Chains A and B, each alone.
Chain A
Amino acid sequence: MDIQLEPHPARHLVDGELVPLITDQLMVRVDGIQVGYCGAAAGGYLQFTVPVDQATQDAVSVHVDQQLGGRQDVVVILDVEAALEVIDDDDDNGEFTNDDENSGPE
């Protein structure tokens, strides 16, 4: 797995030249593809902008910590699909609800 830290991709024009706009964050690439951002110094956050598996997440985290000489907390985005599964389970748990009040035996 090839992990690279590069300048943040945002650019703006200064004296006719495109130069980096954001200097307090770096872009993270895995095997050439952008996967997120991290702080430019230790103590920041490693944030993924595309879905990555746990092994990739862990490998990037270790690499970033080593390159920047300190810990970067990894921010994990809520797994919405898992939350939806919990709701589906609740709907099917057989408990009596207000919706059932008018559906007694005929």
Chain B
Amino acid sequence: MAMTGNGTSIVFGTSGWTGSIISISGTSQSREALEDTHLGITGEKTYVPDDLIEPGEFDIEFYWDQSAGTFPPITAVAETITLSFKLKTGESTQATLAGSGFATESEGPTTTNSELMTGTMTIQWDGKTGPTYTAGS
């Protein structure tokens, strides 16, 4: 059964950064289509998939906590990042999207009256560990 994104969390294993997340975009992965058309082909061109996949990146938006001891790790080395999805009824282990990655962009809050401060961050999966989705159980 489909669920909303409510309850999803993200943790950074080495920098220790985490936050009150407003949204996490999906990870977009891609690979090239290599044309292997030759003179013996008639009709449509033909293609084969590249061996290598772009591991992808994703964006997160979060409430900015000026009391937090750690901040978005734009200067950090690649580290383990785990997105954990809310437990479904009957599950005891959360579904995860996990791998290693690093921040490529970080934007601090715009400060104004009567609005909560928010920040954004772009995370690049580095492709060296994962990213791999593991179902909840």
Listed in ascending order, the chain A residues whose CB lies under 8 Å from chain B are 8-12, 21-22, 24-25, 27, 29, 32-34, 36-37, 39, 44-45, 47, 49-50, 73, 75, 77-78, 80, 83-84, 87, 90-91
Q: Can you name the residue of chain A whose Cβ is closest to the Cβ of B70?
A: A75
Which of B7, B18, B137 is the one whose CB lies under 8 Å from A75? Answer: B18
Candidates B11, B17, B134; contact of A10 at CB < 8 Å: B134
Cα distance A22–B131 when bound, in Å? Answer: 10
B contacts with A, residue count (CB < 8 A)? 33
Known A-B contacts A24-B13, A34-B92; the reply to A83 vs B116 at CB < 8 A is yes
Chain A residues with CB under 8 A of B80: 8, 22, 24-25
Let me know if B132 and A11 touch, CB within 8 A: yes
Stretch with Cβ within 8 A of A (4 or more), from B24-32, B49-57, B94-102:
B94-102
Given contacts A10-B96, A78-B63, A83-B63, contact A21 B130 (CB under 8 A): yes
User: Which residue of A45, A80, A90 contacts B13 across the interface (Cβ within 8 Å)?
Assistant: A45
Q: Which residues of B contact A27 (CB under 8 A)?
A: 93
> B82 contacts which of A22, A44, A87 (Cβ < 8 Å)?
A22
Q: Are A87 and B18 in contact (CB under 8 A)?
A: no
Asked if A47 contacts B16 (CB within 8 A), the reply is: yes
* Shortest Cβ distance from B13 into A: residue: A25
**A33–B130 CB distance below 8 A:** no
Q: Is the beta-carbon distance between B65 and A78 smaller than 8 angstroms?
A: yes
Residues of B within 8 A of A84 (CB): 116
CB neighbours of B17 from chain A (8 A): 75
Return the chain A residue nearest B16 by Cβ.
A45
Flag if A33 contacts B87 (CB, 8 Å). Answer: yes
With A33-B92, A83-B116 known to touch, is A78 a contact of B68 (CB < 8 Å)? yes
Q: What CA separation (Å) do A24 and B79 show in the bound complex?
A: 9
B96 / chain A contacts, CB cutoff of 8 Å: 8-10
How far, in whole Å, are A71 and B20 apart by their CA atoms in the complex?
24
| Alpha-carbon distance between A29 and B80 when the two chains are bound, in angstroms | 19
Can you report 25 residue pairs joining A to B where beta carbons are below 8 Å apart?
A8-B98, A10-B96, A11-B132, A21-B129, A22-B13, A22-B98, A22-B129, A24-B13, A25-B80, A25-B82, A27-B93, A29-B92, A33-B87, A33-B92, A34-B92, A36-B11, A44-B14, A45-B13, A50-B7, A73-B16, A77-B19, A78-B19, A78-B63, A78-B68, A87-B116
